[in-house]
Amino acid sequence: MKSDADELFREAFGVEPRWRSRAPGRVNLIGEHVDYMGGLVLPAAVDRYVWLAGAPAHRWEVRSEASGGEDYLRALAAELGAGPQRVAAAASLPAGFGMSSSAALLVAAAAGLEPELDGREAALVCQRAEQKATGVMVGVMDQFASAMGRRGHALLLDCSTLDVRYVPFPAEMLIVVVDSGVRRELADTPYNQRRREAEAGMPKRARHVETEIERVKRFTAALEGGDRRRCGELLKESHRSLRDDFEVSTPAVDAIVERAWAIPGCLGARIMGAGFGGSILALVERGAEAAFEVAIGAPTVVCATADGAFAA
């Protein structure tokens, strides 16, 4: 796919690129709706990527299938003090699966334009760029995972201090993202209301935040202890909390999650991301993924952990 970005660049602009880069998408294993409360999250960079090829230019020209790609790149270049660029993008990271294609695009661009940045600096500058490009005060989890992920590990991030710790992730366990088929625009859902309720300390919302942060700690301990079954149980607990206390699931999503729980080789599954539809995260024993994909009856992306663009 890297050569696809190169080839697209040559076809579009008739010259060779001056810089090349890539960055991975991410999946948040556990720690949902706690990032903006300063809680703990446990994402992992995954082996689905955005590749870029670029060169300085007199004006912006972007060849990308990503909607809004040029707006993101302009915002990042402004943050870095870089001038206009010609950029071509190729991706194996599917849009619409909740795997942070926008963060991967920005982190890849940062790696191409300023490769001397460290991962923390890159994540923060990409966060600022996305906020300016979209007007949405996004958190920093996606950018940290894409910039600082490490193959064979998840990344334990404290969203209040931005401290990072790497947690071994077993090769025997695969990450599967399932498209629920339930489409939604967050502006048309109670997402903002849920966040306000959590920030105001509404008891059910606060209970989810408190118990989810505790689940992140227990999930981390289970990973470090090699207890994959316990990891799966904690995913199920997380889904029930997101369904009952934070109330961001739907009956259609619940049905898919519960179907996943019953499939042999599936350790656990939950709704992921903002909720009200979107995608489902499942942890599946290696070797059981093909049967899982057939049994779940919905589009899937099977992933392993990966290095970030600025991996140490």
Whole-angstrom Cα distance, residue 275 to residue 40? 19
What torsion do the CA atoms of 310, 231, 270, 151 make, to the nearest 10 degrees?
A: 20
Whole-angstrom Cα distance, residue 307 to residue 24? 8
Question: Which residue type, as a one-letter code, is found at position 264?
Answer: P
Is residue 240 a contact partner of residue 263, using CB atoms and an 8 Å limit? no
Whole-angstrom Cα distance, residue 293 to residue 312? 34
- Tokens in use for 105? 């695009």
- Give the DSSP H/E element, type plus range, for residue 261: helix 251-261
- Phi, psi dihedral angles at 70 (to 5 degrees): -65, -40
Is residue 152 a contact partner of residue 95, using CB atoms and an 8 Å limit? no
Closest CA to 19 of 116, 83, 117, 111: 111
- Phi, psi dihedral angles at 28 (to 5 degrees): -85, 110
Whole-angstrom Cα distance, residue 141 to residue 137? 12
- Give the DSSP H/E element, type plus range, for residue 179: strand 173-179
- 165: Cβ contacts below 8 Å, ≥ 6 apart: 155, 156
Q: Which of the following is catalytic: 6, 35, 142, 179?
A: 142
SS3 27: strand
**Number of CB atoms found within 10 A of residue 244's CB:** 12
Active site annotation includes 142: yes
Residues with active-site annotation: 142
